[in-house]
Amino acid sequence: MAGQSPDVLWDLRGCLARRMNMASLAAFLSLADSIRRFSGRRQKACINYDPQVLGFLNDIGFLSVATDRDLFDWEPEDAMGGYAIGLTNPNTKVFAFPIASDPPPRSDEAAWIGWKDYMRDRLRDTLMLTCQRVFEVKSKTKSFPRQLTNLMANTLAELALNAAMWGRSLPFIAVQRSTKGITAAVCDLGRGFRATLGEQKLLGISKETETPQPQDDLSALILASLINDEPKDFGLRKAISQILKVNGWVVMSSGTGLVNWRATSWKRAILRYEQDPNTIPHHSMLFSNAPEDLLEIAAMEPGYYRQFRHKLKGVRVAFEIPFSNAGGE
């Protein structure tokens, strides 16, 4: 850091083809974009000349986003070129999702709801077009209900809209289809859940309920997951419930906190919150504390939480809808 203007050098020389996590790439782009807007200049990025890595980053849309957002000065300068394109699984995409229209005043309830519904539908349609290869029915798929495609598109549109409305930040999205299912992530470098939950009037919370205020990022993550239960609104709570209903999972992080929702922890959270909506269920009552070993984490079916020492702005939500509920891939 040089004064108030960060001097950043990204080292991407450890990237390996087909070994990159899509959610991490979306989070990285959101961080680089935030620094670009703050500093007013591109960041240096070191990368090896590896045709497989560069071809992969090109095919999934990473290099296109970096160019459109004017993020990096590549080192070496001649690294970008001389690689084959179109060799990567077309079912993998990462992209930015700008929302051009500003919402109307929250005091105009009808206009607010109408704008939100309209923008969600537009985002959903754009997602279906951008990711049509991800969502299309495959010949080997025994049964792939349309509602799973709609669930994925609606969830991504809701998360992207939330990033723009509440976080006031550009959302970055990653989508990947594998033999196991469709995994997706939405990342932003906005204000984060804890800050936005302070705007109670903007959240459409029932006036009869005294909304509890989160004291840390973990409680903010839990509250943000639970508060919106309006029947006519898709909302984060409904998205989580529907994903878990088809045996999927949801991982959310903001600030210093991270929660992994699975069916068991979600049922506990819903039950405790409905019994006492004035109190945020404590994470220790819902989850296990995640071990350091990644293999053990993956096996923790009830869900888990993590609390980090260092804070990362914004919100990151990743989720997966498995094909096992649709008859396989």
What SS3 class is residue 289?
A: strand
If pLDDT is split at 50, 70 and 90, which confidence band does 208 have? very low
Distance CA 111, CA 162 (A): 17
Tell me how far the alpha carbon of residue 189 is from its chain's centroid. 11
Average pLDDT score over residue span 70-87: 86
Strand-pair category, 72-75 with 92-96? unpaired
- pLDDT at residue 206 tops 70: no
**Residue 4 placed within a domain:** no
Average pLDDT, the chain: 83
What's the number of domains the chain is made of?
2
- pLDDT at residue 327 tops 70: no
Beta carbons within 10 angstroms of residue 210's beta carbon: 11
Residue ending a domain, choose from 68, 88, 108: 88
**Residue 153 placed within a domain:** yes
Place of tokens 């699975």: 262
- Residues 180 and 304 grouped into a single domain: yes
Query: What stretch of H or E contains 95?
Result: strand 92-96
- Residues 20 and 121 grouped into a single domain: no
Structure tokens at 163: 């990033």
Distance CA 215, CA 96 (A): 31
Range of the domain at 200: 95-326
- Residues 84 and 225 grouped into a single domain: no
Residue ending a domain, choose from 88, 123, 157: 88
**Residue 106 placed within a domain:** yes
Average pLDDT score over residue span 277-300: 76
- Residues 175 and 317 grouped into a single domain: yes
Task: Report the range of poorest mean pLDDT among 25-29, 57-61, 142-146, 170-174.
Answer: 142-146
**Residue 3 placed within a domain:** no
* The model's pTM: 0.86
Residue ending a domain, choose from 64, 88, 112: 88
Alpha helices in 197-248 (DSSP H): 217-226, 235-245
Distance CA 264, CA 180 (A): 21
pLDDT tens-digit series, residues 31-68 = 999 999 989 999 999 999 999 999 999 999 999 999 99
- Residues 41 and 170 grouped into a single domain: no
